[in-house]
Structure 1
Amino acid sequence: MEAYLNPLLTQFDFSCLRPQAASLPVPEMTKGKDKEEKGSSVKLPAEPGEYMVILADRKLLELPLESLSILQQEGLNSVSRDFSLQLFYSRHKREERQKVESDNKKETKGGKGNKGKGDQSQAIKVIPANHALPSNTFPVDTRNFRYIVNPHNEGHTGAGGTSLSMRMKEILETHSQHFTNLWEGSEQTPSVSEMEQVLCRCSAFIYLGMEHLMAKIPPAKLAALNLSECHMALLFDRIQNNASILHQSMQKSAGQFALEKPMETALLLSLAGVGCIVLNQWHSSLQQNTHNMAAVLDNILQARQTCGQAVYALRKGNTSEIQQQAITGSCDSKEEDDHHKTPLSPSAFNCILYGLPNLIFT
């Protein structure tokens, strides 16, 4: 693939991805602010690196473009893709508009909330105080998250025999301080109407199951939905084993099977209004899917990364703990970096992101 795309890649200037050796002098006022931030208990997301968005045609999007060597530079913080510049622009403008509307509602509620001290104390308890957003990001309400786990309740994650439903409960308990106790989900086979309600009434949702999402809701139904309130869709499916093969319908036409492919699924969700879609390019295993889901949620909720950063961390083999060690600057950081620069397996590039990479949970 590198040789095939080399004539095209040579036409681009990737100098912006190379880390700059010289650093600008830090003003005294900035140093003072840094000291204040270090002493504060508020954990702010890190913002280093560039965000790369790949706009390619259909045939090129079928390739694992994220595995290109030029996209493994240290200057990158996120690599995502989209179908066209127009679609990417419409996603961005929609998020901007919704953010402004949300801010206006908060200001209106704040103006009406000066009636008594009792009302003010209740508002302080509900709204977290440590959710400072980095620049050029759009918020996603963590409390309005939905999930659908293993509709057929099949399969196990390993020799321990832990089901996918139990694994999801463990992950939610781990992040209970991030309002995961308010997440609503379905661990049984949902009907089409239930699926529609879940998708239309959420700010983001996770699908973890044996079958493709399009096997649970007809593409025609999905295309007719208005999912503009759903900012993010995390799909951990495409599990290929005997159980998933048995549940594939033999009565579907070739066109119906084609709509269950990753690119078509991402396009249908995009046309319905979803701003960010994370899904697998090819088939995966139960173990890999549960690992990726746990890692993405940990990076989004615990490390407070954007969706693009969280998915990019999967490819780089970095977890939030490794990133924290790099920030502290341990003595053996160079040895750790050399250790983690081992060649990545194809599974590292299976999980990809379509749409906006700068969504962050609040």
Structure 2
Amino acid sequence: MTDKLGMMARLAVVAVMTPIVFCSGAWAALALWYRLPGGRIARTLGSAAWVIATGLLYASAIGWRSWLPLGVYAALHAVVLLWWFTIKPSATRDWRDDVARVPTGSVQGDRVVLDNVRHFTWRSDTDYDIRWERRDYDLTHLVSADAVLSHWGSRAIAHAMISFGFDDGHQLVFSVEVRKSRDQQYSSLGGFFKQFETILVIAGEDDIIRVRTNIRGEDVYLYRLDIERTTLRALLLSYVQAANQLATRPAFYNTFTSNCTTLVYRLARQVSPGLPWDMRLLLTGYLPEYLQDIGALDRSVPITTLRRRARISDRARAAPADADFSRVVRAAMTRD
């Protein structure tokens, strides 16, 4: 009886410890793969050595029926964690041209002055005219905000932006994006492991939307938000404040906790603290349904109708280079 109870206890320990060691070991292996200094060879060797050591220590713990190997593993994992927390975001990499400058803003009464507003002319992803501008806006002329969703693959995932409209027809887009250096390619998995910094790009629609529809072939939808002017103003100013914070205190991008939509949600919570959390804030392709549920989109028509009206990709691709891009893409948006 005693032997049977002992075996059951060992099996219970194995059942508990196996997922713990597997998950913590996998995390550490990926952390080493993405962030260990020394290039690809060093990262490969470091990650492989960790996997081998984890497997040997866990096998030894089971084979020897001893806690000592697990104690050694815990100590090694603590070293990895200590190293991980020493990795800080940078503001001084060799950035790609489209994220080379960090926008900032100053507010005096109703006037907002923005520096490093991007206004590129795109012919391809590698051929473009670089232009950064200082712009001055009067918040008394702020009249609208649109949620812009850009799909590039799965319908469940989209990049989310906010475009603020002024009564003279000008639009100003705020977009939380990955800040990539010249030698980096985007990886959603790498986004969990401090591979990228965050940048808040401020740009006109003829730059930041046109490059997605006309150059990258993404499918873009534009939804008019139903929010009051005071909320519009507070939301825009919260974006300016966020831009200034990133300019002085760089931050890592995180695929799950600090991405384009979760940061929009945090900013919106500053304006309306009662906003509920929802999984559709992560599955951003379903963000319009969430926005309609909380009353930020027109509830008088079905979401399928709103989605059909919101699609601007074809109009964007047909827009002449010298046309008023924002006006063209909004043509006929209220028709069924």
TM over 0.5: no
- Greater relative contact order (Cα < 8 A, sep 6+): 1
TM-score range, shorter chain: under 0.3
TM-score (norm 1): 0.26
